[in-house]
């Protein structure tokens, strides 16, 4: 049993882990791929954003210097001079100071000024002074600056063997904006700038390629071979798989440049394989650990159950169940306690059944003995009746006859059920006796459907109600004293009612008597009737005293008995 339980648990666990692992592995590639694409896109966007910030700083420096008062004054001074060489002066010092102040605390930037005279000559700073250098007119950056006419332009230059990105702008005179008085240039060390795109955020072997607005590759020196069709697709979809590489597209906003990140697919696959291997290792270790835990759990869990089963089999041939020692803790202790409680209750029930059997035998014997006394009393009353008739004592004869009838109906052959007809005969005998006692000062009548005469009801339920009406309703009452007994069939219900004139009943007190809250010995009869009714027919047949009695009556007691097969009999 233990091995079967263990093997069943193992099979279930291995199947469950296997199914879960296969499902996880099924979606691992997609999950890893999507996560890596999102991570690479976010990393490339972050690098491009920092790159844009460096360019925007340079652009802001350029525009600030173009309208700087010291730069304007110096450019105006040189533009209006008639000399080919302009020595350093206070104006030039102020202009250089303005640039130095702007670049304070930054690195990788270099500012150059190129004044333009009214004759169109361009000056360049060399050896501490500004001299005319008309060769600059043919430089690509100069031509692009002139074509931009005041907006920011850019180009490549090489100074002292170092590659720079040069951002330039024409300086217009603030007093006469149509006149160009010079050019201001901010040079950015390209090697320092490009490192912003090469911080290793595209994996171990991923590379970021920088292109200008015309599609010319600016960085790195190794060329990215990509077809125009692939480029169009990349611009639209942002992520494309091209041959053995994943390509990611991002735009450098200030100049319309763009960056393409290239990550080898084998690196992405290797990451996916790494994740899959980790999942398999984790699943394997989990299965092994679970097997050990299940083995220990099933062993320690099964052992007390096996002991309990063995004890239960051993008790099959014993008259009294044996209690199990509570030598364990946890849930099994609760199971043992429950079993012991059940055993204790069963043993007690066995003892009760044995004692009840003995009591039943004693009761049967006493019942047989008790039946002798009523029969003897009935025979005695019959003799008294004949003697009273012999001596012409008719009143005594009638009382004796009524009492004998009550006694005979009360015995009812030892049966609990009696017909409605016989129950009414018993009540009529009781009323005859009470008429002699109260000197015929009350009347009684009956309203009974013929079809209910044979209905079987528990006996002795009407007499206590009639007695209650006479004792509590008529005593010390001077008006008309009358009792009305009604037994009617109402659909599937037998409705019994006892109504009387006289003093109205204390309904609150009666309710307490019926519920047992008031141990009134004088009202024991109605409480007994109520208890027998509810036990036999249910709470819907309980004895009820109406709050509002029918017209001409002060008290109304009603009983409703369902017309079951037992009650209906021949109806």
Residues 475-496 pLDDT 10s: 888 888 999 999 998 888 999 9
Q: Average the pLDDT over 68-88 and give the result.
A: 80
Instruction: Tell me the pLDDT band of 558, cut-offs 50, 70 and 90.
Output: very high
Q: Average the pLDDT over 132-160 and give the result.
A: 85
Whether the per-residue pLDDT at 75 is higher than 60: the answer is yes
The angle that helices 2-66 and 265-314 make with each other, rounded to 10 degrees, is 150
Residue-averaged pLDDT of the chain: 79
* Maximum mean pLDDT: which of 289-293, 314-318, 332-336: 289-293
Q: What is the pLDDT of residues 324-364, one digit of tens each?
A: 665 666 566 666 677 777 777 777 887 778 776 776 666 55
The pair of structure tokens assigned to 535 is: 């036990």
Whether the per-residue pLDDT at 163 is higher than 80: the answer is yes
Per-residue pLDDT at 552: 84
What is the residue-wise DSSP string for 180-200? EEEEEEEEEEHHHHHGGG-SS
Q: What is the pLDDT of residues 41-56, one digit of tens each?
A: 888 888 888 888 888 8
Per-residue pLDDT at 367: 45
Whether the per-residue pLDDT at 146 is higher than 50: the answer is yes
Counting Cβ atoms within 10 Å, is residue 355 exposed (0-12), middle (13-18) or buried (19+)?
Answer: exposed
β-strand pairing of 443-448 with 482-490:
parallel
| Residue 211, H or E segment | strand 207-211
Per-residue pLDDT at 52: 83
Per-residue pLDDT at 517: 76
Q: What is the pLDDT of residues 418-450, one digit of tens each?
A: 888 888 988 888 888 888 878 888 999 999 998
Alpha helices, DSSP H, located in 67-119: 69-79, 90-102
For residue 15, give every residue at least 6 positions away whose Cβ sits within 8 Å of its Cβ, in sequence order, or none: none
Q: What is the pLDDT of residues 353-404, one digit of tens each?
A: 877 677 666 655 554 444 445 555 656 666 666 667 666 766 776 777 677 6
Q: Average the pLDDT over 174-196 and give the result.
A: 81
Percentage of the chain modeled with pLDDT above 70: 78
Q: Average the pLDDT over 119-126 and give the result.
A: 85
Q: What is the pLDDT of residues 96-105, one digit of tens each?
A: 888 888 777 7
| Residue 323 vs residue 372, higher pLDDT | 323
Query: What CA–CA distances, in Å, run from 299 to 11, 80, 303, 304, 313?
Result: 17, 104, 6, 9, 21
Q: Where are the beta strands (DSSP E) in 76-152?
A: 85-87, 109-115, 123-126, 129-132
| Residue 34 vs residue 320, higher pLDDT | 34
Which three-class secondary structure state does DSSP give residue 427?
A: helix
Residues pairing with 125 in the sheet: 130
Residues pairing with 124 in the sheet: 131
């Amino acid at each position: 049993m233990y091995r079967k339980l263990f093997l069943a648990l193992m099979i279930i666990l291995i199947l469950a882990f296997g199914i879960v692992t296969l499902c996880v592995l099924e979606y691992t590639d997609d999950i890893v791929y999507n996560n890596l694409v999102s991570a690479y896109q976010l990393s490339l966007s972050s690098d491009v954003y920092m790159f844009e910030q460096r360019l925007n700083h340079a652009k802001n420096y350029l525009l600030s210097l173009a309208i700087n008062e010291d730069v304007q004054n110096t450019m105006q001074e040189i533009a209006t001079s008639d000399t080919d060489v302009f020595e350093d002066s206070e104006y030039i010092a102020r202009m250089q100071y303005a640039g130095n102040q702007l670049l304070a605390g930054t690195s990788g930037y270099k500012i150059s000024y190129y004044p333009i005279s009214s004759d169109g000559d361009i000056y360049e700073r060399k050896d501490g002074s500004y001299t005319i250098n008309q060769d600059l007119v043919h430089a690509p950056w100069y031509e692009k600056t002139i074509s931009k006419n005041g907006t920011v332009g850019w180009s490549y230059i090489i100074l002292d063997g170092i590659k720079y990105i040069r951002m330039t702008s024409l300086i217009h005179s603030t007093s006469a904006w149509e006149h160009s008085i010079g050019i201001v240039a901010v040079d950015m060390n390209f090697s320092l700038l490009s490192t912003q795109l090469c911080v290793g955020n595209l994996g171990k072997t991923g590379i970021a390629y920088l292109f200008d607005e015309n599609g010319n590759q600016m960085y790195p020196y190794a060329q990215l071979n990509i077809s125009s069709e692939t480029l169009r697709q990349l611009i639209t979809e942002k992520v494309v798989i091209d041959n053995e590489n994943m390509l990611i597209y991002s735009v450098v906003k200030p100049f319309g440049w763009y960056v393409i990140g290239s990550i080898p697919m084998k690196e992405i696959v290797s990451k996916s394989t790494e994740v899959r291997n980790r999942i398999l290792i984790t699943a394997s270790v989990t299965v092994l650990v679970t097997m050990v835990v299940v083995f220990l759990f099933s062993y320690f869990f099964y052992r007390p159950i096996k002991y309990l089963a063995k004890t239960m089999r051993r008790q099959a041939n014993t008259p009294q169940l044996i209690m199990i020692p509570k030598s364990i803790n946890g849930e099994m202790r609760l199971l043992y306690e429950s079993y012991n409680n059940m055993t204790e209750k069963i043993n007690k029930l066995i003892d009760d059944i044995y004692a009840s059997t003995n009591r039943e035998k004693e009761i049967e014997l006493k019942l047989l003995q008790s039946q002798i006394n009523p029969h003897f009393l009935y025979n005695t009353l019959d003799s008294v009746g004949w003697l009273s008739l012999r001596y012409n004592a008719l009143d005594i004869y009638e009382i004796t006859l009524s009492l004998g009838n009550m006694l005979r109906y009360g015995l009812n052959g030892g049966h609990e059920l009696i017909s409605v007809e016989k129950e009414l005969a018993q009540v009529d005998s009781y009323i005859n006796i009470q008429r002699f006692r109260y000197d015929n000062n009350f009347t009684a009548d009956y309203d009974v459907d013929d079809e209910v005469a044979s209905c079987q009801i528990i006996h002795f339920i009407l007499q206590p109600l009639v007695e209650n009406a006479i004792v509590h309703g008529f005593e010390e009452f001077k008006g008309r004293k009358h009792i009305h007994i009604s037994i009617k069939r109402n659909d599937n219900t037998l409705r019994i009612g006892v109504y009387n004139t006289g003093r109205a009943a204390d309904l609150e007190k009666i309710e307490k008597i019926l519920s047992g809250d008031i141990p009134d010995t004088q009202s024991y009869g109605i409480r007994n009737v109520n208890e027998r009714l509810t036990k036999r027919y249910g709470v819907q047949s309980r004895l009820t005293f109406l709050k509002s009695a029918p017209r001409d009556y002060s008290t109304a007691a009603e009983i409703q008995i369902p017309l079951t097969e037992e009650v209906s009999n021949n109806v």
